[in-house]
Amino acid sequence: MVANASTPAIASARPEMTAALMDETGLDDDVLRELVHRFYDWVRADPVLAPIFVARITDWAPHLDRMVAFWSSVTLMTGRYHGRPVPKHAPLRLGSAHFDRWLALFRTAARYVCTPAGAEHVIARAERIARSLHMACTDACMAPGDIPVLRSAAAE
Ligand code: HEM
């Protein structure tokens, strides 16, 4: 089958939108798969990130498949990912150094694998999701005593 604006070459819950996004960005299943595999090859060799993954993931194939589905949903709106990333990350006690490193590797992998438009598209989404995951993780790590008590002037 030849992909065009109404028939994307990958399964999607929103075929027309997916076809238009594939057209604009050059992203498709093969490119996203290559991006995910290259990125996690680097993550697994990285001194900051590798220990966190080694402690949680023993069987990499299902994780990589899940991540391809995630990026397919996020970048091409295919609706293929059905997980909940926040509860998976909250117990990992991730800080700025982890997110900075994760994003640095992800940006490099995206620029290496994707077209310039595809890299820009996927990096913008990674940065946005990393920000909200970071906030969710910071919130989850805060003990009740760490939360500042805000008093109004009237209560003084
Ligand atoms: C700060 C660096 C990060 C580390 C160390 C990290 C680590 C992990 C680990 C260990 C898992 C497997 C969790 C488990 O199955 O128990 C995981 C899953 C996942 N991560 Fe991250 N992560 C990071 C940042 C991010 C970012 C920025 C994104 C998205 C842009 C992301 C998206 C995901 C998704 C979608 C999953 C799969 C969740 C599921 O099972 O449905 N991660 N991550």
- CATH number at 126 reads 1.10.490.10
Binned average pLDDT, 10 residues per bin, the chain of 156 residues: 56 92 97 98 98 96 98 97 94 94 98 98 98 90 63 57
CB of 22 closer than 8 Å to CB of 15: no
Residue 10 lies in a domain: no
Residue 146, pLDDT score: 63
CB of 22 closer than 8 Å to CB of 14: no
Residue 101 lies in a domain: yes
Ligand 1 site residues, Cβ closer than 6 angstroms: 49, 52-53, 56-57, 66, 70, 83, 85, 88-89, 92, 94, 98-99, 102, 126, 129-130, 133
Residue 102 lies in a domain: yes
ipTM score of the complex?
A: 0.92
| Token representation of residue 54 | 């080694």
> Measured between alpha carbons, how far is 136 from 140 in angstroms, rounded to an integer?
6
> Measured between alpha carbons, how far is 88 from 111 in angstroms, rounded to an integer?
27
Strand partners, 141: none
Residue 78 lies in a domain: yes
Q: What is the pTM of this model?
A: 0.88
Q: How many domains does the chain have?
A: 1
Residue 137 CA, ligand 1 centroid: distance in Å: 11
Three-state DSSP at 47 gives coil
Residue 87, pLDDT score: 93
Residue 4 lies in a domain: no
Residue 155, pLDDT score: 52
| Terminal Cα distance for the chain, rounded | 72
Q: Which domain holds residue 29?
A: 15-139
Strand partners, 4: 7
| Token representation of residue 125 | 């989404």
Residue 10, pLDDT score: 79
What φ, ψ does residue 3 adopt, rounded to 5°?
-75, 135
The residue whose CA has the least distance to atom 27 of ligand 1 is: 130
